[in-house]
Structure 1
Amino acid sequence: MLRVLTLNLQHGQPGAGAGDGTAVSGSLAGADIHDPATARAVLAALAEQIAELDPDVVALQEVDLGQTRSGRVDQAGMLAQLLGWRHHRFAAAWAGPVAGLRRRPRRAALAGSGDDVLGPARALLGLGPAGFGNALLSRYPITSHRLMRLGRGPASVVRRGGSAVDPRSYRVFTATARNLLVARIGLPETVLPGATGISLGATHLATRADTAARQLAAAWDALAALPGPRLLAGDFNLPTEQVSAVGVGRLLGEGPTFPAASPVRRIDHFLTDSGPADADGALPPPAGGEGVTTGDADARRAPLLRAVGGGTRSFVVSDHAGTWVDLEPTD
């Protein structure tokens, strides 16, 4: 069995679960994570809660790297270290400080100053790389990974009082860049019998439903070209019925995830390969066709996945509840 958790981290901001008493550090409600020590304490409490759940892979969205608002820590790297896991990947949707000039990174990992066009200038000021994006943490080896950019979507104009003919009454909000981080994770044969690994994607889609739907279709198409089995996880910003309407993959898991304090709708999801195409159980042709990566002899015959367990819970951080799914091959 493989357990996968997805959580919108909301840059480590303490949320509904911050005072639920499950963390040995006690209540962290209202903690100021600008302070590096406090930011680390919040992540330590989160790692404790994740460890209690005991997932094998964690997909994270809204992850900070080197941001002032979250203590300038490497959140993905620190969480992996706290969990005792050696394998993690971070993919910046954009580089730069939250309150400042955002830009497309040269390399999404932001592992060094050369990954950001303004990185050398930041280094002269004694500042490391900064960015914001998605991450994957895994107890099993990440054998390869890749990034797909999903675009921004259109800007929106919001009227904030005043006269309808006064330009000062309006404010323009540009859409945030989105991406898909995909990793090939090697697995022992006993975890998912019949599969030596899984292609697992983490993404965070736009808040506009039409843009999110287009991004979801593009993300699934990219993932479907890789060896199976496949799982797409993340904050889709779409309710279940709208995800189903896109017509890609097969939904797994259940339970509302937003808002964390009292969830009423599920906008964080898991998608996997579609099931049998007909009543006789005939399987559909392998997704991706010629795009399936060569070198994996079992790629086209990889087992389909089913959920044998799962759930949702609020963590010490975020305005989302996390959701997880327990995966096994279908019979």
Structure 2
Amino acid sequence: MYGVGLVSRLPVEQWHVERFSAPRARLPLIVPTPDRRPTIISVPDEPRVGIVAVLTGPAGPFTVATAHLSFVPGINVRQLRDFARRTAHLPRPFFLIGDFNMPGRWPARITRFDSLARGGTYPSFSPRIQFDHVLVDGLSPAVRSHARTMALEISDHCAVAVDLEGFDVSN
């Protein structure tokens, strides 16, 4: 399984795992070498998962979900659409975060969620494509968001951080 994790300082009311099957495909992938030069390797896809948690905030419950979707075009679209549909009943606001392996605005269009972060996240040594997303549904228009990306040594993708003004999660 391709791993994802979700850590919270807030109480978790409920959580569950959504499983996605792996397609039987190999695709080329650009990765940095130790000397930070890109190289292309052929990689098979693997089974993927999403984690969903309903958290207890001061204003009530809200949902946070994360997933690392397939890099196979079309398969990742189906996984994201199914993930959004299977979790549609959960409390709003609903934050959907992860490496969706889809560029730019596609994830927001597919889910009809709002994007809180835009900008290149891949490859980390020269980010030009946004594969990593922070989407939200049901967030008050009064909440302001500020996003940034950061290249870290531990990944071939940049990390995405979003600060929210007006969304209180302190207890």
Q: TM-score, normalised by structure 2?
A: 0.78
1:227 equivalenced with 2:91 (yes/no): yes
The answer (yes or no) to whether the contact 1:180–1:203 under 8 Å persists in 2 is yes
Q: Which residue of 1 aligns with 2:78?
A: 214
Report Cα offsets for 1:259-317 as digits up to 9, x if no partner.
11121111100121168xxxxxxxxxxxxxxxxxxxxxxxxxxx568442121111231
- For residues 315 and 328 of structure 1, do their structure 2 counterparts lie closer, same or farther at Cα, with a shift above 3 Å needed? same
Residue of 18, 26, 35 corresponding to 1:148: 18
Higher strand share: 2
Residue of 138, 141, 145 corresponding to 1:308: 145
**CA distance in 1: counterparts of 2:86 and 2:141, whole angstroms:** 18
SS at match of 2:5: strand
Q: CA deviation at 1:243?
A: 2.2
Report Cα offsets for 1:227-277 as digits up to 9, x if no partner.
1110110000010133244253222112211111121111100121168xx
Matches within 5 A, 1:61-72: none
Residue of 155, 159, 163 corresponding to 1:326: 163
**CA distance in 1: counterparts of 2:63 and 2:47, whole angstroms:** 23
RMSD: 2.6
Structure 2: gaps spanning 5 or more residues:
29-41
The structure with the largest alpha-carbon Rg is: 1
- For residues 274 and 153 of structure 1, do their structure 2 counterparts lie closer, same or farther at Cα, with a shift above 3 Å needed? farther
- For residues 196 and 320 of structure 1, do their structure 2 counterparts lie closer, same or farther at Cα, with a shift above 3 Å needed? same
Q: Which residue of 2 aligns with 1:102?
A: none
1:196 equivalenced with 2:91 (yes/no): no
The answer (yes or no) to whether the contact 1:309–1:326 under 8 Å persists in 2 is yes
**CA distance in 2: counterparts of 1:313 and 1:262, whole angstroms:** 11
User: Aligned letter for 1:197?
Assistant: P
Report Cα offsets for 1:195-246 as digits up to 9, x if no partner.
3232100100100121111111111112221111101100000101332442
- For residues 177 and 224 of structure 1, do their structure 2 counterparts lie closer, same or farther at Cα, with a shift above 3 Å needed? same
- For residues 260 and 156 of structure 1, do their structure 2 counterparts lie closer, same or farther at Cα, with a shift above 3 Å needed? closer
Alignment size in residue pairs: 154
**CA distance in 2: counterparts of 1:225 and 1:210, whole angstroms:** 25
Percent identical among aligned pairs is 29
User: Aligned letter for 1:148?
Assistant: E
- For residues 316 and 174 of structure 1, do their structure 2 counterparts lie closer, same or farther at Cα, with a shift above 3 Å needed? closer
**CA distance in 1: counterparts of 2:160 and 2:88, whole angstroms:** 23
The answer (yes or no) to whether the contact 1:315–1:322 under 8 Å persists in 2 is yes
Residue of 255, 266, 275 corresponding to 2:119: 255
Matches within 5 A, 1:1-12: none
Higher helix share: 1
Q: Which residue of 2 aligns with 1:271?
A: 135
User: Aligned letter for 2:86?
Assistant: A
